[in-house]
A and B are shown apart, each in its own frame.
Chain A
Amino acid sequence: MIQPIIKTENLCFSYSKSKNDISALDLEVPRGSVYGFLGPNGSGKTTTIRLLLGLLRKQKGSISLFGQPFEENRIDNLARVGALIENPSLYGHLNARENLKIAARYRGGVPKNRIEEVLEIVKLSYVKKKKVKAFSLGMKQRLGLAISLLNKPELLILDEPANGLDPKGIIEMRSLIRELNEQHDTTIFISSHLLSEIEKTCSHVGIIREGKMLFQNTVAALKNSQTGKLVVEIETNDTSSASEIAKELQMNPDIADEQSLNVVINRKDEIPGLIDNLRNRQIAVYQVRIKDNLEELFLSLTEN
């Protein structure tokens, strides 16, 4: 097996003595993957990232990046990493270009044209001379991302990168992640509290709650781990009659709200039969949608 690009064993950390914020975390991020690090608010995603980058000092366990222990190889390892942790670090009194120049000068060896390149990538070229304090939240997030891309990192660590982005920005972020991963072989570690986001972009997933890893595998394996049943949401003009019909068909109906009904089926091809039945009794069908029950799986994993 190829060596994982991030590996932690028995990682422990707490901010205060009263509770463990990260306990016995074994993280394994394969090289070349897009790894989604998923967990509800306060579960320890940012804390884990801070530990990985050496901002917090671990209290137990080990961390290795690129197959080397982190502490002994801090500078070498960091040279191959780009990171965006929580809110981006930006000097408000300077403009976008000046902020990038500072980061580039610290790193050393960043070619001059790379600054324009990353501004282009995050679509900020049009405001490169504007002071950052006049940026919107999403623009700041984009600039933070640009800074993390300066060194063409082998490993990109993004903490809730979609934070503050508009829908177009989110779609661009997804395609950027895909492009970096497919064309530049960048491994991407991305934290989020939205499963739908992870599902769309990631090949691997780790689910964390209260500082413990609950599940860690490929996204495909996560999907397979569910039962074969599908939940379908149907919007009609007569929910109660529709519910009766579904009951006759043994589809376990559950009225979600005035217009919609959830039914449980085994296979997709049961859907046309159900619609025929509803239409035969003059019930109007406005919408039929297979519900993403990954979301429910996530909730059931992370709720107790």
Chain B
Amino acid sequence: MNSLSYFLSSTKNETVKLKRTFAFWLSVIGAFFIPLIYLLYYLLKYEKLIPKEGENPWDSFMTSQITAASPLLIPMFIILVTSLIVQIEHKSLSVKHLFTLPIPKWSVYFGKLFIVLGLVLFTYVLFALLVFIVGYTVGGVHGELQMWEHTPNVSLFVKLLFRSFISVLGIIGLQFWLSFRFKNFIVPLGIGMVLFITGLIVYQAKESIYYPYAYSMLSLFPLDSKDVNAMVWFPRVALYSIGYFLLFSVLGFLDIRRMNIK
């Protein structure tokens, strides 16, 4: 077999393993969480939310949902879902089986990492769809909200989500490594939580640009500045996040490859 077929069969197996797991359902629930709250919010409190003359109601509807999710929920979701996916292997005592199969160890490690990325991306996509569905639904129920009269600024929304997704790659790299290394679910979860809470404290400092657990917040900073159009697909945070992701993935693999499987 060649490298590609090793990788493909590994990722195919990872999707099969996700079936009926809590990790999968968590990623669905995670996508529903905020749009559902906004559904109720806009249905019940629509009077306060009626847009002023010339205002596009979609702008605040969409961006406020991302800002609600980004600082807290997304990093916690990432930490939890990464641990859960790797826990499938530990719980079933499968690492020893995987590493005695006639396949390269990298195909196991990166195949699984790829699926973690895929599942997180899936959550983002589902979230985006739900935001639109909820928007048109509340607009249908309460015509005063003028959702149907305006068109959502899709490209801005997608850009924000994309930047948010890129900004969590760094944490995924490290959390995945920790989850693989420690059989006990609590260890990666605990370390992740501590690092993340530290991020909440330090993110306003200039140096937080070097701290991946703060990136989910930093990815939204340009929102505060006036010129939204100046936003780029890859701000500095995104590049650093990708850098951390590559670094942790490679270091993680080199470590796991040499690890004694007890």
Contacts and interface: CB of A to CB of B under 8 A. Distances in A.
A54 B216 CA distance: 40
Contacts of B258: 57
B45 interface: no
B198 interface: no
Contacts of A102: 13, 16-17
Contacts of A77: 102
A76 B103 CA distance: 9
A75 B92 contact: no
Contact of B13 (A83, A87, A88, A105): A105
Nearest to B88: A91
A107 B91 contact: no
B103 to A, nearest CB: 6
Given A78-B102, A106-B101, A55 B9 contact: no
B100 A106 contact: no
B150 interface: no
Contacts of A241: none
Interface in A126-177: 147
A92 B16 contact: no
Given A91-B88, A105-B12, A106-B13, A75 B96 contact: no
A83 B20 contact: no
B93 A88 contact: yes
B153 interface: no
Contacts of B92: 89-92
Interface residues of A, number: 33
B5 interface: yes
B21 interface: yes
A55 B13 contact: no
A264 interface: no
B102 A75 contact: yes
Nearest to A132: B92
Nearest to B13: A102
B48 interface: no
A60 interface: no
Contacts of A86: 93
A55 B5 CA distance: 24
A111 B100 CA distance: 20
A278 interface: no
A103 B100 contact: no
B228 interface: no
B261 interface: yes
A175 B200 CA distance: 63
Instruction: Count chain A CB atoms within 10 A of each CB in B9, B10, B97 and give the residue with the most.
Output: B97
Interface stretch (A37-45, A93-101, A268-276): A93-101
A15 interface: yes
A91 B94 CA distance: 8
A81 interface: yes
Contact of B10 (A75, A87, A98, A106): A106
B226 interface: no
Q: Which 10 A-B pairs have the closest CB atoms?
A: A89-B97, A79-B102, A78-B102, A55-B261, A89-B94, A53-B100, A89-B93, A91-B92, A56-B260, A75-B102
Given A91-B92, A103-B97, A106-B103, 20 more contacts: A53-B100, A54-B100, A55-B260, A75-B102, A76-B102, A78-B102, A89-B92, A89-B96, A89-B98, A90-B92, A91-B88, A91-B94, A92-B91, A93-B19, A93-B21, A94-B17, A102-B16, A103-B101, A106-B10, A107-B103
